[in-house]
Amino acid sequence: MEQHLFIDFEFTMPEKSVIYRGFFPEIIEVGIVVVRDHQIAEKYSSYVTPVHFPILSDRCKAFLNISQKQVDSGIPFAELVSKLKEINANARKNTVVTWGNMDMKVLRNNCHKGGYTFPIKGQEIDLSMEYKRFFGDQNQTGLWKAVQEYGKEGVGKHHRALDDALTTFHIFNLVEKDKKYLKQHEPTTIGDRVDFSKLFNIFV
């Protein structure tokens, strides 16, 4: 069975303070959309309690509209690792799709810092780069700006992990549809339009 995992994480953010010396981002919210046969098979959402820098900065709380109480009541990072392993184990072929490369970078670093084996196997796709290459944009486009460029709206609220994962799934489908359309309507070459054998016979 093949499956696509559309994953979005929200991370901690530092302030300019000595208590954040040596800071690295930790996952504090997870959203996962599991897609099999082009249909959503499972949606998963949870807050995650940070370990190394457990007190959220005011900047982080304001930017993500998230409270200390919410992350304090979240699952331990170890439980997130177990959940990702469980989802990954269900598939013969796994493709992970994220908007940007930070999600997998932060997950890898958090696993490294906590002594956990990276729980995901399979191909990883940074959809923001696919989108950039497909449309020839010079700059990387934000998730919600990208979906608005399609004349659509994002799902739910921006910077809520599950909503962003669902929006990523939404854009993935739009881009894949456009790719198929362009492939079906590739411009013909002069060789396709002219039968050179008949043309040659005219001059013989």
Question: Which one from 130, 149, 158, 159 is the annotated catalytic residue?
Answer: 159
Per the annotation, the verdict on 158 as an active-site residue is no
Q: What is the dihedral of CA 37, 107, 165, 56, to 10 degrees?
A: 160
CA distance 174 to 85: 29
Contacts (Cβ under 8 Å, ≥6 apart) of 62: none
Question: Which one from 10, 26, 29, 170 is the annotated catalytic residue?
Answer: 10
Per the annotation, the verdict on 29 as an active-site residue is no
What is the edge-to-edge ordering of all strands in the sheet holding 2-11?
39-47, 27-36, 2-11, 93-98, 123-126
The enclosing H or E element of 26 equals none
Q: What is the largest CA-CA distance in the chain?
A: 87
CA distance 34 to 40: 6
How are beta strands 123-126 and 2-11 bridged, if at all?
unpaired
Residues acting as catalytic residues: 10, 159
